[in-house]
Chains A and B, each alone.
Chain A
Amino acid sequence: MSISIPTPHIAHLTEEDYEHVYEPAEDSFILLDALEIDAQIIRDDKPIICLEIGSGSGIASTFLTQLIGPGSSLVLSTDINRYACKVTLRTAQANNITLNPISCHLLNPLTNRLKGKIDILLFNPPYVPTDSTELQDTQELRDIGGSWAGGNNGMIITDVILDQLPDLLSSNGKMYLVTIVQNKPLEIINKMQLKGLICKEMIKRRAGRELLSVLRISRK
């Protein structure tokens, strides 16, 4: 019943790259697992426009492209960290697919045009609870720290996207969001339901000190 999609090649990435870009870890792989569980649904939906916010190494954007079928959808990948955009491009090349990295904060230059058009949205956000100074500093530095420092409850960056989400998703649209227990996933589920969206915890898994979940948020 399940479809198996090969894990993208990332052997081209070096120790030096991982000084600037988040190295794929359990939280990256749980997102791939969630996509794999939904592989048939995603393929049947024939997504046209997909977006990953904070693509980092590019592993999730690459996996999604391979899942849908190369050339069958537009996959846009943003990152505030310019080094990550370059690495995302290299990961695409190493896996013989095309990705479209854009260096920006969240999806700001895309918001106008993508309203109501996003079929798949991936976000493995900076989810670690930190104080607000650390959040601000890491976002301004636009380097690896921005991949994890999440401010109060680890939700400051995620909430910016969740607040816009009802305007972003297409009628078939789905968001896959990585969270940890400190982000209070149950509160997220309630909050999104109040906005008229359906929100389900797809996977929950302990990885070292982190209790990770993937939430799927959709219109129907």
Chain B
Amino acid sequence: MVRLITHNMLACHVKNCTKDNFPLSFSEVELVIRPTEENLDFLKRFLPKLDWSALVHTARSLGDESLPEEMPEISSWTEEQLKALHHVLMEIHVEEGNMICKGCGHVYPISNGIPNMLLAEHEVGR
């Protein structure tokens, strides 16, 4: 279950891949929506940790247009906006598919909801 909250924390880590290594682009994905209880207080606290632009563009690539281009001021979020964010971050699960690095083209497959971020020895940076 790769949710967008997790995806927002993953970058390509192939040796010498330092440009456009985040966010990874989804392709050929199988999505499952799993409704889950909201914790809007947690979401508010999580906002400063997010890369907003990466989240918005990733959500749009998966067909969800509910988030605004610019992140609203933390104090001005409405309950409705937070619920939309909850859905995008916590309820959309990528079960199968690939995450592709826009910089180097490396493909990280997802199967049974688990992302495979392992690299071969010669691809490891350190």
Q: Give A residues with C-beta under 8 Å from B.
A: 46, 48-49, 71-74, 76, 80, 82, 85-86, 89, 98, 100-105, 108-114, 117, 140, 142
Per the bound structure, the CA–CA distance linking A76 and B1 in Å amounts to 12
Q: Residues of B contacting A108 with CB < 8 Å?
A: 13, 117, 119, 124-125
> For the complex, is B10 an interface residue (Cβ under 8 Å from A)?
yes
Tell me the complex Cα distance, A86–B121, Å. 23
Q: Please classify the interface of chain A as helix (H, G, I), strand (E, B), loop, or mixed, using the class held by over half of its residues.
A: mixed
**Known: A72-B42, A105-B124, A108-B117. Contact between A113 and B36, CB under 8 A?**
no
The reply to whether A102 and B39 form a contact with Cβ atoms under 8 Å apart is: no
Q: Which residue of A lies closest to B121 (CB)?
A: A140
- Given A108-B117, A112-B21, answer yes or no on A102-B49 (Cβ-Cβ < 8 Å): no
Q: Is the CB of A85 within 8 A of B114?
A: yes
Contacts beyond the supplied A74-B5, A102-B114: 5 A-B pairs with Cβ under 8 Å:
A103-B118, A109-B108, A109-B117, A111-B13, A117-B49
Q: A72: which B residues are within 8 A, CB to CB?
A: 39, 42
With an 8 A cutoff between CB atoms, is B97 at the interface?
no
Instruction: Let me know if B9 and A104 touch, CB within 8 A.
Output: no
Q: How long is the Cα–Cα vector from A109 to B2 in the complex, in angstroms? A: 14
Which of A46, A104, A117 sits near B118, CB closer than 8 Å?
Answer: A104
**Is B11 on the interface with A (CB-CB < 8 A)?**
yes
Q: Which chain B residues border A109 with CB–CB below 8 Å?
A: 10-13, 108, 117
Q: How far is the CA of A101 from the CA of B114 in the complex (A)?
A: 6
